[in-house]
Structure 1
């Protein structure tokens, strides 16, 4: 995105390769897809999923693996409404597409995990784990829920302005669920071009197909007790604990032909992680800002983690674009410039993210039959509800989405207008809660900001550097 508007940047990637295979999938939903389309990634993504559309058939299944809701040709119907059909792909694949789309590949350096950060009146300095020093005018931390950048930002604020970041941000973060997410080899027991959710008592599943008909799957499990706090307070798991949880659920029925144990035995990769849920009260301090999972963590069942990070990056880019210098001599960003841009980014994003955090939590509560009320819904309401509610959910989630304001949106016909396409700002429409969890597990890429871009438009900003 920054390359698109001519701002110098450097992406510090902690892994030793551009697109490491971490065994994770990502759902690109319409709100994120529209921004990626602005950046020229549409064709490459579409080619990857050609003939392997995981949203062609959507199903909801009860705890016995019986279908209680079904929507055929879902991709076609979603695309008709809001221009973009959602897709499932490997996280590695989307990162590679973003990197390939960069004009200047030297803007991404690998093996440079952030270790220490210093702020100065007109710049920020970063020391990486190998001892290398980098200097820029702004540091953007898109390094996930275990963010080193956020830790360094909090450390500096605690020293200079105690209380700036409230203690509640570090003590009230709740972790109610964990998840085994994995990829398995194709099987005839999972229909091609399909996705389905399976309810359970204290657990739930998402199963979806992707490129080459591989099977992405997720077992969400409620913890015996809620864990509070961040970082060292998040539960950590071993491979033995992962295998034990899988064995506990091996006989769970996913559909008429498949049990979870078969899918797990057919895996190529699987990881067990805790699922904290939080939106931090502040995202920036001085010349440091966090976005994506470093600023807010959603339950991944809603599929909005990565897409929210893409929206964050777009809104931040919009605000930096407004700092355009008036002359060659007036290029440096003052502390006040930075503060105003980052505060606007936060204010424009907070309510939107908060609504998605709640939506994702509610979906998980429903899927895991977490209360008497949700069990009543699952048994008596959902089987008789219209699958059109699925389309309503996709539309209502996508319409308020952000985009790059300075970049043209390709003309793709759609029946419903996004909020920013309407002639005047409208009152937020009432959100329709869907009883169909269309979620996908997403992991925020640390390369979200800086990997997205094409040819620069404003060369006058060439000396403004963002890390």
Structure 2
């Protein structure tokens, strides 16, 4: 079976995650035809969560989903840092400082709701095809054709691979036989109720608070980003780094073994990783891949395909840049596509923004929190002596060049 569309420009999107659904919303508001193919269901419940930084919030404000995200979350206002002995060595006001400057709080929310809000905002749900994976990609006259796992052939003008670094599209475009991603750490991620299992009156953290703890070769973070929800992670350095495609697939037995070794360690004052795991909502363990694909654009013989940040870039999650970088990639792509379509119905090139900078920043923050080297341990000791305003300015400077959607009104100027 073949589904062809002649004439009108149409974007095919492989993947219904952060990048795919953000792109679908942007294309709909720009009046550009598209079809999104997702091999699973939209917004699965998997115990994971995601952060929304201030610059990403501007894009979501343009798309009309920011208020819903903000109202369902608790803006993060405090951050406390603990050493390996459980001592509080820094009580940071950086989040408050940045929120005061940008008028937008940092958010953590469950990934299920994050994706559901993006999906709900779409007016035409017929352009979203679930349980429809992409198996093959071929060139056509002036466009692309993908073959689904059901054998259907679907035609478009351009294909956006937004289905992760292990996807079929990434393998086709960027030569999967040449490993580009490595994992030096694994992370146990989970969402728990914000109270002890044996005493519901005792909370782990105050609302809107983040706790960071630093150990040799491991670290942890916990945040109350929504009512009665602690989003938390345990990062552990892997003895032998793994390289794609030989990343480990962790089981429940692996999680239990990790908690036997690290679970009795404190995150904040008076509670441990095991205490959090005893009040579970959901979670799992994965390797933390790092890397950037150089060949993010494929145009061999007229076959126009592009990898979004979710498929071409992978950063460790300590800073929370992964999903935010994906939104940046969507904004940059749309800012190229919209004016280009006004001049030329067949655009031929784009790029993935700031991927290498985001991966590098995440790389060092992960190692800083795990005190991986002597100089990073020294930096952690010196950290409390730097004013919050200096730290906040560094992050604001990083966010400043992040793009928004140029074809939609700037929400900050509108409010001003």
Instruction: Answer yes or no: is 1:281 the counterpart of 2:325.
Output: no
* Alpha-carbon distance between aligned partners in 1 of 2:90 and 2:210, rounded to the nearest angstrom: 12
**Residue matched to 2:357:** 355
**Greater relative contact order (Cα 8 A, min sep 6): structure 1 or 2?**
1
* Alpha-carbon distance between aligned partners in 2 of 1:145 and 1:384, rounded to the nearest angstrom: 39
Instruction: Answer yes or no: is 1:6 the counterpart of 2:23.
Output: no
SS in 1 for 2:340: coil
TM-score by length of 2: 0.87
Cα contact 2:38–2:129 (8 A) shared by 1: yes
Instruction: Answer yes or no: is 1:21 the counterpart of 2:80.
Output: no
| Paired residues for 1:389-408 under 5 Å | 389-408=390-409
For this pair of structures, how many residues does the alignment match? 380
Instruction: Answer yes or no: is 1:173 the counterpart of 2:181.
Output: yes
* Alpha-carbon distance between aligned partners in 1 of 2:88 and 2:71, rounded to the nearest angstrom: 31
Q: 1:414 to 1:224 in 2, by over 3 A?
A: farther
Moved over 6 A (4+): 412-415
* Alpha-carbon distance between aligned partners in 1 of 2:95 and 2:373, rounded to the nearest angstrom: 31
How far has the Cα of 1:112 moved from its partner? 0.8
| Paired residues for 1:66-77 under 5 Å | 66-72=87-93, 74-77=94-97
Cα contact 1:30–1:86 (8 A) shared by 2: yes
Cα contact 1:185–1:215 (8 A) shared by 2: yes
After superposition, the C-alpha distances for 1:105-154 in whole angstroms (9 at most, x for unaligned) are 21111111111111223221112222232211111001112122111224
Cα contact 2:50–2:111 (8 A) shared by 1: yes
TM-score by length of 1: 0.77
* Alpha-carbon distance between aligned partners in 2 of 1:171 and 1:332, rounded to the nearest angstrom: 35
Compare the two structures and name the one with the higher strand fraction.
Answer: 2
Instruction: Answer yes or no: is 1:306 the counterpart of 2:323.
Output: yes
RMSD of Structure 2 on Structure 1 (CA): 2.0
SS in 1 for 2:43: coil
SS in 2 for 1:301: coil
| Paired residues for 1:96-175 under 5 Å | 96-154=116-174, 170-175=178-183
**2:81 aligned to which of 55, 60, 70:** 60
Cα contact 1:176–1:225 (8 A) shared by 2: yes
Instruction: Answer yes or no: is 1:370 the counterpart of 2:350.
Output: no
Greater mean deviation of Cα atoms: 286-295 or 120-129: 120-129
Cα contact 1:82–1:414 (8 A) shared by 2: no
After superposition, the C-alpha distances for 1:238-270 in whole angstroms (9 at most, x for unaligned) are 121121112211110112210111111212212
* Alpha-carbon distance between aligned partners in 2 of 1:393 and 1:191, rounded to the nearest angstrom: 27
**Residue matched to 1:256:** 269
How far has the Cα of 1:6 moved from its partner? 1.0
After superposition, the C-alpha distances for 1:55-83 in whole angstroms (9 at most, x for unaligned) are 121112111222211124x5543222123
After superposition, the C-alpha distances for 1:438-459 in whole angstroms (9 at most, x for unaligned) are xxxxxxxxxxxxxxxxxxxxxx
How far has the Cα of 1:414 moved from its partner? 10
* Alpha-carbon distance between aligned partners in 1 of 2:128 and 2:50, rounded to the nearest angstrom: 21
* Alpha-carbon distance between aligned partners in 1 of 2:345 and 2:392, rounded to the nearest angstrom: 46
* Alpha-carbon distance between aligned partners in 2 of 1:241 and 1:18, rounded to the nearest angstrom: 28
Cα contact 2:290–2:359 (8 A) shared by 1: yes
Cα contact 1:113–1:129 (8 A) shared by 2: yes
* Alpha-carbon distance between aligned partners in 1 of 2:87 and 2:414, rounded to the nearest angstrom: 36
**Residue matched to 2:224:** 209
**Residue matched to 1:225:** 240
**Residue matched to 2:105:** 85
Cα contact 1:195–1:209 (8 A) shared by 2: yes
